[in-house]
Structure 1
Amino acid sequence: MQSAKQVPSRLGPTPDNSSASWRESKVPEDAVISKSMAFKQYRLKPEDLDGIPFDIKPGQLGGYPCDRYLYNERDVERKAWERHGGPEGFDAYLSVLRNRYNTRTRKPGKWTPFRQPKSYDNDGDAVDS
C-alpha cells in the first residue's frame, strides 16, 4: 500500500506496461523543447536527458548571448514516460502534482497556472515558460 505522500510515478514501471503498448504521443513530430523547459514541464533530471540527441542554437538570456540546447519534445516525453511508468503513470503523476499545486499555492491575485506540457493541458491554461 502506498503512503499519502508517495507519488504514483515513484512506484516505477509495471511489468505489463511495455513501451510497445503505450498510446500514441499527442506532441507534434517536429516540436522542440529547450533543456530547461524539459526539466520544468516533464519533471526530468539532467541525467534523464543523457543519450537524447539535441541541437545547439544561439540565443540570448538577459541580453547576453548563450547557447540553447533544443531536444525533440517527443523524445523528452518518451523519457518522462519511461521514468514515470508509461503514459498513464505520467498522467497520474501530473494529476497529483496539479491537485497539490491548486490546493496549496492558489492565492487570490497571485495565482499562475500549473506548469505542464501543452499537450497535457486540458483546461487551456498551461504555462510554457
Structure 2
Amino acid sequence: LDLVDQWFCPICIEKHPDLNLKTTYKQRCMYGVMHPQSNSAEACHNPSRGTYSKYCSDECGIKASKMRINEWKLKGGDEKKLRQALQDVERKDGVVHVVEPCSGNLSALKPMLSKAKREAQQ
C-alpha cells in the first residue's frame, strides 16, 4: 500500500471517462529493485524519497552502492583505483526548478560556485 500514490475505484473510472482517472504509483526504492531477490522480504519495498533520490533512505542508498561495488569487484575491478578516483569528489549542490507562471517554462537555477568554493570564500 505504501507504493500507491492515488487510487481510483474501477466504478469511478467507468462513471467518469472524461476525467481520465488512473491509479498512480510511487517509485519503489532502487535498492529493492536491484536486490537479487527483489520480491523477497529481505528486499526493500518502500517508496523512494522523491524527485532527487532513487532510495527510501541513506541506508538503502549505501547498501545499493556496496552491492554495485561488490559486483564490480567480482568482475575484476580494483577497489584501490576506485577509492583514488573518488577521493576528491564533492557532494552535488541542490537544484531549484522554477516554473514561470505565464509561459509554463521550466528552468533550473544552479549556483555559480560549488558549495565548497562558497564556504572557502566565507
Q: What TM-score, normalized to structure 2?
A: 0.26
Larger Rg: 2
Structure richer in strand, relative to its length: 1
* More contact order relative to length (CA 8 Å, sep ≥ 6): 1
